[in-house]
């Protein structure tokens, strides 16, 4: 409770968490109120009465302009927010949940094999997660409509596939992290006392181990949330989209691809070409929201780490500074001491 009250007063934690919460809530609210219907802006006219072709710049249609289909970019971003953040939340939670079970088990029962397990898992950290996910997903999705000729996967299948792949590629690394933390706590003096008193493994985990691990789990969750958002952005540039994409005709009867779910990685990948086409603000919009969301998650992480360190770290003892002056003592620095001896008289006296 003390940590919770301190977090509510931490500006870094509150700004970051509120930004993510409001962004996600606005996307859900848009679905409830408008059923994710995105309006198409009609052609605008300039001062001379001539029609202006899409896409519109933020100056012609604030705040972010429109895409080549005449749809407002802000509406597209809001619609895709719940899919992007939803997948990030689910994957980060599953990574943490599965890895915590494996890591605690390894730290409790297989601590003697800790070095061997770490030596096997550590080399995988040097292989980019983006390339690993890319190779797996391309191999699986090669027969689906966006990559081949047959649509063998539904939209839900795409989401489930991404969640499974994103989760599995990170479990070994996080499991080793939890294993090392569990082994460190089990070697503390109070845990040795708990063992001497005869506590079972289950009680040791619930009563003594989890209070130390739960704050660490929240930190791991925020870090994995950031990693999943970065992974989505990278795969979007490689044209691997969570919801896939389809082709439809724009206002000028030209066939163009579009994102089915409007999640941010799909928008980023499909709009990347507009950097070279003279419409850089279209590409900048998903980049902006990816950046702001990652920064918000990082602010939440920094705020939590600050308050966690204040609550669970022992207070520092203030010590008086030592007098390091090289002063040579003089005669006046010494005071005479007078000692009075009261001798008891003997019996013969």
SS (H, E, C) the chain: CHHHHHHHCCHHHHHHHHHHHHHHHHHHHHHHHHCCCCCCCCCEECCCCCEECCCCCCCCCCCCCECCCCCEHHHHHHHHHHHHHHHHHHHHHHHHHHHHHHHHHHHHHCHHHHHHHHHHHHHHHHCCHHHHHHHHHHHHHCCCCCCCCCCCCCHHHHHHHHHHHHHHCCHHHHHHHHHHHHHHHHCCHHHHHHHHCCCCHHHHHHHHHHHHHHHHHHHHHHHHHHHHHHHHHHHHHCCCCCCCEEEEECCCCCEEEEECCCCHHHHHHHHHHHHCCCCHHHHHHHHHHHHHHHHHHHHHHHHHHHHHHHHHCCCCCCCCCCCCCCCCCCHHHCCCCCCCCCCCCCCCC
Whether the Cβ atoms of residue 285 and residue 270 lie closer than 8 Å to each other = no
310 vs 318 pLDDT, higher one: 310
Between the alpha carbon of residue 211 and those of residues 11, 75, 139, 196, 206, the distances in Å are 25, 43, 42, 20, 8
pLDDT of residue 288: 95
Average pLDDT on 219-231 reads 94
pLDDT reading at 297 higher than 50: yes
Average pLDDT on 110-134 reads 84
Whether the Cβ atoms of residue 160 and residue 244 lie closer than 8 Å to each other = no
Among 34-43, 107-116, 185-194, 302-311, whose mean pLDDT is lowest? 185-194
Domain boundaries, the chain: 2-34+73-317
pLDDT digits (tens, 9 = 90+) for 313-348: 645 555 656 555 666 667 666 667 666 656 555 555
Average pLDDT on 103-113 reads 83
* Residues sharing a CB contact under 8 Å with residue 98, sequence separation 6 or more, in sequence order: 167, 171
State how far the Cα of 286 lies from the Cα of 270, in Å rounded to an integer. Answer: 11
pLDDT reading at 285 higher than 90: yes
pLDDT of residue 287: 94
Enter the tokens of residue 112.
């003697």
Confidence of residue 67 (pLDDT cuts 50, 70, 90): confident
Confidence of residue 15 (pLDDT cuts 50, 70, 90): very high
Confidence of residue 303 (pLDDT cuts 50, 70, 90): very high
Average pLDDT on 218-243 reads 91
Domain spanning 2-34+73-317: which CATH class is it, in words? mainly alpha
The residues facing 249 across adjacent strands are 255
pLDDT of residue 149: 47
Average pLDDT on 166-191 reads 86
Average pLDDT on 292-316 reads 83
pLDDT digits (tens, 9 = 90+) for 153-165: 677 888 888 999 9
Among 32-41, 127-136, 237-246, 277-286, whose mean pLDDT is lowest? 237-246
State how far the Cα of 24 lies from the Cα of 168, in Å rounded to an integer. Answer: 25
State how far the Cα of 132 lies from the Cα of 165, in Å rounded to an integer. Answer: 9
Among 72-86, 114-128, 222-236, whose mean pLDDT is lowest? 114-128
Pick the closest to residue 81 from 299, 229, 226 (CA basis).
Answer: 229
pLDDT reading at 252 higher than 60: yes
pLDDT of residue 319: 62
Q: Across all residues in the chain, what is the average pLDDT?
A: 82
Give the percent of the chain with pLDDT over 70: 82
pLDDT of residue 349: 55
* Residues sharing a CB contact under 8 Å with residue 71, sequence separation 6 or more, in sequence order: 38, 39, 40, 41
Whole-model pTM over 0.85: no
Confidence of residue 100 (pLDDT cuts 50, 70, 90): very high
10 Å Cβ neighbour count for 211? Answer: 11
State how far the Cα of 59 lies from the Cα of 279, in Å rounded to an integer. Answer: 13
Pick the closest to residue 38 from 259, 284, 285, 275 (CA basis).
Answer: 259
* Residues sharing a CB contact under 8 Å with residue 58, sequence separation 6 or more, in sequence order: 64, 65, 281
Kind of pairing between the strands at 51-52 and 44-45: antiparallel
Enter the tokens of residue 289.
């929201």
Average pLDDT on 37-55 reads 82
Bond from prior residue into 145 cis (ω within 30 degrees of 0): no
pLDDT reading at 274 higher than 90: no
Confidence of residue 148 (pLDDT cuts 50, 70, 90): very low
Whether the Cβ atoms of residue 178 and residue 102 lie closer than 8 Å to each other = yes
């Amino acid at each position: 409770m003390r940590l919770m009250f301190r977090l509510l007063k931490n500006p870094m934690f509150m700004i970051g968490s509120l930004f993510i919460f409001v962004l996600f809530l606005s996307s859900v609210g848009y679905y409830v109120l408008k059923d994710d219907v995105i309006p198409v802006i009609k052609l605008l006219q300039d001062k001379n009465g001539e029609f202006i072709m899409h896409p519109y710049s933020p100056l012609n249609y604030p705040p972010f302009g429109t895409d080549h289909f005449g749809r407002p970019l802000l509406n597209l971003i809001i619609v895709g927010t719940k899919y992007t953040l939803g997948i990030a939340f689910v994957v980060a939670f599953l990574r943490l949940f599965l890895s915590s079970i494996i890591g605690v088990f390894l730290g409790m029962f297989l601590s003697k094999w800790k070095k061997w397990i770490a030596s096997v898992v550590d080399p995988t950290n040097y292989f980019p997660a983006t390339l690993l996910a890319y190779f797996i997903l391309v191999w699986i999705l090669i027969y689906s409509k966006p990559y081949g000729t047959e649509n063998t996967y539904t939209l839900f299948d795409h989401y489930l596939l991404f969640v499974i792949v994103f989760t599995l590629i990170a479990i070994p690394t996080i499991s080793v992290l939890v294993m090392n933390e569990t082994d460190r706590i089990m070697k503390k003096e109070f845990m040795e006392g708990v063992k001497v008193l005869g506590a079972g493994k289950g009680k040791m985990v619930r009563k003594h181990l989890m209070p130390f691990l739960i704050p660490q789990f929240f930190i791991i969750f925020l870090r994995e949330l950031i990693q999943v958002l970065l992974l989505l952005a990278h795969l979007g540039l490689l044209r691997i989209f969570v919801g896939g994409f389809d082709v439809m005709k724009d206002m000028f009867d030209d066939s163009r691809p579009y994102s089915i779910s409007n999640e941010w990685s799909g928008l980023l990948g499909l709009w990347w070409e507009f950097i070279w086409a003279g419409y850089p603000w279209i590409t900048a919009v998903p980049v902006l929201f990816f950046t702001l969301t990652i920064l918000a998650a990082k602010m939440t992480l920094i705020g939590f780490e600050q308050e966690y360190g204040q609550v669970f770290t022992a207070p520092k003892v203030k010590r008086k500074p030592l007098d390091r002056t090289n002063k040579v003592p003089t005669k006046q620095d010494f005071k005479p001491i007078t000692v009075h001896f009261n001798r008891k008289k003997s019996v013969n006296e």
